[in-house]
Structure 1
């Protein structure tokens, strides 16, 4: 993924992490604002504020509608917003005997910047651990048979506004809306992605045609 093209002033604080089958409770790459610059860092996928007692309770997603009402998310939404770079998002379509995994991507297979929140837990005066959660919104109508929620997408042109804690909350909130119908597509993939131990890149290969908006759907 060409992050430098999306975020020209990006600073690398850590080596970018890539995975064909990333699951919660694993480290991932996130972009946060540090010293006024978008900075790539590593975080644990599952928001773990200092007062959280049980790690298994760490949420890996936060509904956009509850960011300002739930104590778990309120402070992070106001002060610590981040972006998670990704090439796609796995979802599981319910079927009579099993769930069929799909990979949701940009229809043009370009990179995605997913909205997130992060927090920091100090284990000592000098050591700390960062963690994050994705922010989800309603799914575009075309993809609702696959899932009713998807991570919110932030356009590269709005990345700094999302990351900057000085951005008024109403403006940050306005960036959290379902993706345009023509932007995303989805295709079925192997059920091997059901097990995060499977880390071969073939996990994300299409096993059927891409579901995407037709010109008539894009311009009703």
Structure 2
């Protein structure tokens, strides 16, 4: 699963990167995004003539029929293998897809009694576009979202058996458009794209949601992958 990630680029930078109008609500950078946090996403907006907007959503999708917000923390991820058929996720997959900007994501590996945190991020420092879905919830139509996950491969599978579904720029338009063939939309990264992701051991501070700063993604020299 993807339960923590970093997204630190400014609204202006994200707006330029995704060619989207900025309608966010003053989000700041976060090196430790946790479930139910407000996060930036890119979606198609009918109120903006069907064009892309950079918006804000609560991380943890709430279907319109959810009685309250408590279940959102368990809905931060949607499995790519079942997203098109799941009662909770399928309507959003069909009509309300989005891109979730990220610098990288965190996972933990247990070594004896301890857990070592790892940060997965592009070696060249480029931004990631995580495949996401969104849904409005409640009388105020609060935006909520989930990140799709897929089977991890290569070196990433040594850290965790799941990883976010990451989309290169040439796939953004089809993903955001709605409709389309599920098999094509849910294709995982190519081997070349996968090789561009580095695995970096980091310190334990990221395990506490109250910690937030660039030091959380700095490598720990004494730690190794295994």
TM range (shorter): 0.7 to 0.9
For 1:10, which of 3, 20, 32 is the aligned residue?
20
Aligned to 2:62: 48
Aligned to 2:132: 116
Aligned to 2:92: 76
Aligned to 2:34: 23
Aligned length: 206
Deviation at 1:200, TM superposition (A): 2.2
CA distance in 2 between counterparts of 1:209 and 1:108 reads 23
Distance 1:94 1:178, change over 3 A: farther
Q: Are the counterparts in 2 of residues 76 and 117 from structure 1 also a CA contact under 8 Å?
A: yes
Deviation at 1:206, TM superposition (A): 1.2
Deviation at 1:94, TM superposition (A): 2.1
TM-score (normalizing by structure 1)? 0.86
Aligned to 1:87: 103
For 1:133, which of 146, 154, 158 is the aligned residue?
146
CA distance in 1 between counterparts of 2:94 and 2:205 reads 38
Distance 1:210 1:112, change over 3 A: farther
Distance 1:52 1:97, change over 3 A: same
Where structure 2 has 5 or more consecutive residues not aligned to the other structure, the ranges are 1-8
Deviation at 1:145, TM superposition (A): 1.5
Deviation at 1:31, TM superposition (A): 0.6
